[in-house]
Amino acid sequence: MLLNLKQILAPAKQRGFAVGAFNVTESTMFRAVVEQAEELKAPVIIQVSPNEFEFCDREQYLYFVERLQHSPNPFVLHYDHGKTYEGCVRAVQAGFTSVMFDGSHLSYEENVRAVRRVTEMAHAASVSVEGEIGSIGETDNFEAGTVKDMIYSTPEDARQFWEDTGVDALAVSIGTVHGLMPRGYVPVLQLQRLREIAAAVDVPLVLHGGSCTPAQEVAEACRSGISKVNVSSEFKNAYYQSIKDFVLADPIKVSPTLVAKDAVQQVRRVVCEKLNLFGAVGMAGDYRAPARERPTGEALPAVD
């Protein structure tokens, strides 16, 4: 079943677990995540970043939507880190049930204005919206072990932003970093800050950069108000490492069915580990398919 973010995160927030959100680029990775979620009866969010979205053709998303809609397991198809209004419209037109508008690089006022515009468009199509307050860090220099652009979220800003925009989920910056960690850098989550933000807003909170943050801290964050955790680099790294090892060991056997076999298992291993950590395994039974089919994106404003 294909839900929006609001629908998939409500039971998570209520019962104190988090839904894993996995960034997939192509259909082999997509199948590995979907089949593992189904096996574990865990709700899962499939997400696609703007670069990944542009990399694939529109027909791929017809397949994604069809596959997720007909699964007994709850899923969301989410557009991650959208940076433009037009990008968000295209995702809705492609059948995505949720979009993120990341205005963390903008001033507060510009961020609010841009998110409100996206929210108005998306909500008209029953599509949910994730916003971001503060700024989640990026790896600056891998060898030097430094990060950049991290601005912690505060409970006051989170509450104001939520009231000003009407977002359905809110990404907060509490110490995680996007991507694989720079050498020697160990992210420390500010769990007290998280608890204060969770107490100040009544909207599900999102943790980005869930790949290499210590497991116990992520598990604690899921019990302290985080309802969605984004995972990307960790399973992609396992996927491509496996392919690299296979091809280097036997450059003659380059058939995709042989090359991808172990890589798929590596993705499934990471997904399984994360879903257990988030407390999401077996939670699919909490969900019911929405009563009405959501409207298609046909009535949306036209963009090139």
CB of 190 to Zn ion, least distance (A): 17
- Interface with Zn ion (CB under 5 A), residue total 1
The one catalytic residue in 57, 80, 286, 304 is 80
- The answer to whether residues 300 and 120 touch, using CB atoms and an 8 Å cutoff, is no
CB of 178 to Zn ion, least distance (A): 5
Task: Output 36 or 47, the one with its CB closest to Zn ion.
Answer: 47
Report the C-alpha gap between 98 and 126 in whole angstroms.
9
CB of 136 to Zn ion, least distance (A): 6
Name which of residues 191 to 210 contact Zn ion (CB under 5 A). Answer: 208
Q: What dihedral angle (degrees, nearest 10) is formed by the CA atoms of 207, 209, 213, 219?
A: 20
Name which of residues 114 to 153 contact Zn ion (CB under 5 A). Answer: none
Report the C-alpha gap between 13 and 130 in whole angstroms.
15
Q: Per rule CB under 5 A, is residue 159 in the interface with Zn ion?
A: no
CB of 167 to Zn ion, least distance (A): 15
Closest residue by beta carbon to Zn ion: 208
Q: Which of 267, 215, 293, 283 is nearest to 42 (CA)?
A: 283
- The answer to whether residues 149 and 135 touch, using CB atoms and an 8 Å cutoff, is yes
Distances (CA, A) of 163 to 37, 146, 166, 202: 33, 34, 6, 10
User: Is 80 designated active site?
Assistant: yes
Residues 6+ apart with CB under 8 A from 287: 1, 3, 7, 8, 11, 43, 74
Question: Residue 2 forms beta bridges with which residues?
Answer: 75
Task: Output 233 or 265, the one with its CB closest to Zn ion.
Answer: 233
Task: Output 193 or 208, the one with its CB closest to Zn ion.
Answer: 208
DSSP E strand boundaries for the chain: 19-23, 44-48, 75-82, 98-101, 128-133, 138-141, 146-148, 169-172, 205-207, 226-231
CB of 32 to Zn ion, least distance (A): 21
Residues that bind Zn ion (CB under 5 A): 208
What positions carry a catalytic annotation? 80
